[in-house]
Amino acid sequence: MAEEASILVGQKPVMSYVLATVIQFNQGAKRVALKARGRAISKAVDAAEIVRTRFLQDQVAISAVKIGSEKVGEPGKERLVSTIEIILEKKV
Protein backbone atom coordinates (compact mmCIF):
# COMPACT_ATOMS: atom_id res chain seq x y z
CA MET A 1 0.00 0.00 0.00
CA ALA A 2 1.22 3.48 -0.79
CA GLU A 3 2.23 5.64 2.13
CA GLU A 4 0.15 8.53 0.84
CA ALA A 5 -3.52 8.48 -0.18
CA SER A 6 -5.82 11.13 -1.60
CA ILE A 7 -9.58 11.39 -1.17
CA LEU A 8 -11.63 13.76 -3.31
CA VAL A 9 -14.61 15.13 -1.38
CA GLY A 10 -17.80 15.74 -3.34
CA GLN A 11 -21.54 15.23 -2.95
CA LYS A 12 -21.69 12.05 -0.85
CA PRO A 13 -22.55 12.19 2.87
CA VAL A 14 -19.73 13.19 5.23
CA MET A 15 -19.54 9.74 6.82
CA SER A 16 -18.60 8.21 3.44
CA TYR A 17 -15.42 10.28 3.43
CA VAL A 18 -14.77 9.54 7.12
CA LEU A 19 -15.02 5.81 6.39
CA ALA A 20 -12.77 6.11 3.33
CA THR A 21 -10.15 7.96 5.38
CA VAL A 22 -10.21 5.45 8.25
CA ILE A 23 -9.91 2.57 5.74
CA GLN A 24 -6.87 4.20 4.14
CA PHE A 25 -5.14 4.51 7.50
CA ASN A 26 -6.03 0.92 8.44
CA GLN A 27 -4.55 -0.30 5.14
CA GLY A 28 -1.20 1.24 6.02
CA ALA A 29 -1.28 4.80 4.68
CA LYS A 30 0.90 7.17 6.72
CA ARG A 31 -0.68 10.30 5.22
CA VAL A 32 -4.14 10.96 3.77
CA ALA A 33 -5.09 14.15 1.92
CA LEU A 34 -8.72 15.26 1.82
CA LYS A 35 -9.22 17.50 -1.21
CA ALA A 36 -12.33 19.57 -1.90
CA ARG A 37 -13.49 22.65 -3.72
CA GLY A 38 -16.49 24.94 -3.62
CA ARG A 39 -19.39 23.84 -1.46
CA ALA A 40 -17.69 20.56 -0.55
CA ILE A 41 -15.05 22.38 1.54
CA SER A 42 -17.21 22.22 4.66
CA LYS A 43 -17.64 18.45 4.20
CA ALA A 44 -13.87 17.99 3.98
CA VAL A 45 -13.38 19.97 7.19
CA ASP A 46 -16.13 17.99 8.94
CA ALA A 47 -14.68 14.66 7.77
CA ALA A 48 -11.17 15.58 8.95
CA GLU A 49 -12.46 16.65 12.37
CA ILE A 50 -14.60 13.53 12.81
CA VAL A 51 -11.66 11.27 11.94
CA ARG A 52 -9.34 13.19 14.24
CA THR A 53 -11.66 13.45 17.24
CA ARG A 54 -13.89 10.35 17.16
CA PHE A 55 -12.26 7.52 15.26
CA LEU A 56 -8.49 7.85 15.52
CA GLN A 57 -8.16 10.22 18.49
CA ASP A 58 -4.56 9.65 19.55
CA GLN A 59 -3.31 8.25 16.25
CA VAL A 60 -3.90 11.02 13.68
CA ALA A 61 -3.18 14.75 13.53
CA ILE A 62 -3.69 17.46 10.94
CA SER A 63 -0.23 18.18 9.58
CA ALA A 64 -1.08 20.82 6.96
CA VAL A 65 -3.94 22.75 5.41
CA LYS A 66 -3.53 24.25 1.94
CA ILE A 67 -6.06 26.68 0.52
CA GLY A 68 -6.29 28.24 -2.90
CA SER A 69 -8.53 28.87 -5.86
CA GLU A 70 -8.75 27.66 -9.44
CA LYS A 71 -10.52 28.81 -12.56
CA VAL A 72 -13.37 26.67 -13.84
CA GLY A 73 -15.78 27.05 -16.73
CA GLU A 74 -15.63 27.79 -20.42
CA PRO A 75 -13.44 30.57 -21.81
CA GLY A 76 -15.31 33.82 -21.38
CA LYS A 77 -17.47 32.38 -18.60
CA GLU A 78 -14.65 31.47 -16.21
CA ARG A 79 -15.01 31.87 -12.48
CA LEU A 80 -12.83 31.24 -9.45
CA VAL A 81 -13.65 28.36 -7.13
CA SER A 82 -12.05 27.99 -3.69
CA THR A 83 -10.09 24.81 -2.93
CA ILE A 84 -8.77 23.16 0.21
CA GLU A 85 -6.43 20.27 0.94
CA ILE A 86 -6.33 18.90 4.49
CA ILE A 87 -3.45 16.52 5.18
CA LEU A 88 -3.95 14.03 8.01
CA GLU A 89 -0.83 12.26 9.21
CA LYS A 90 -0.36 9.29 11.52
CA LYS A 91 1.48 10.13 14.74
CA VAL A 92 4.68 8.21 15.33
Residue ranges of the chain whose pLDDT lies below 70: 1-2
pLDDT of residue 3: 85
Q: Is 3 left (phi over 0), alpha (psi -120 to 50) or beta?
A: alpha
pLDDT of residue 1: 55
Residues 4-90: name the CATH superfamily.
Alba-like domain (3.30.110.20)
Query: What residue ranges in the chain does DSSP mark as E strands?
Result: 4-8, 31-37, 60-72, 79-90
**pTM for the model:** 0.90
Who's near 79: CB < 8 A, 6+ residues apart? 71, 72, 73
Contact, 58 vs 92, CB < 8 A?
no
